Structure 1
């Protein structure tokens, strides 16, 4: 009778071991599947985060570029205005110069827009030149703007 009970215990033990093995294998498969699902979700979230970062980065770059272009346009406009003002001062000073030997010079350490008419006769470097030749050189000198092409450019 002890042998029969031992055999039944062995059979029941073998059935329990087989059952627990199947449950353990099912649990390992479930854990592996959950890990795969987790990794897929994580990769999707990483990809979505990268897309979001790229979108934000491109938007910020566009905003910075438009601000930079606006600043540059303002600076160019200010420079054009200053250049036109300086050109006007020079043209005014040249038109008010009665003696062609008088020259325009900038004040030392002063503002470039402040011009002073000087009575220095610098044109006497070539004593063989006549006053008429000097006057012709002054007439040939032209001051042009980007909107008013020179007479030399028209005839060339």
Structure 2
């Protein structure tokens, strides 16, 4: 038994459980109203499954948008899979919850940010995004905390 309570780890687990609950509801009932999600994840995570061309284009992180068109949403205790449209090319993705860096629903100004301690290299911003993605938010380099994100970076 540890001498301390790891609140950061407990908070991360609770926040990932919240994402799982939200995605399960969307799987069962669809997206209500104007809700939509920007989900940024670490493409270097060993359990992420994306097409090779997407990994080549986004070697460190990728932001996807679940809004107008998505298909085959499956939600498990470890992550979710979904088919998204990238320039009229449907691609199936698997995203483990542990790889998620941000989860934002701008329709209600809700956002979560997960900071990891294992990431040493800064990410490279990219000029192009697939049709179902948006500009990726700039993260901070102080790792190890979980926090609610500012939605200013997602406003157009």
TM-score when normalising by structure 2: 0.24
Higher strand share: 2
The structure with the largest alpha-carbon Rg is 1
Higher helix share: 1
Question: Whose relative contact order is higher, 1 or 2, with alpha carbons under 8 Å and at least 6 apart?
Answer: 2
TM-score when normalising by structure 1: 0.24
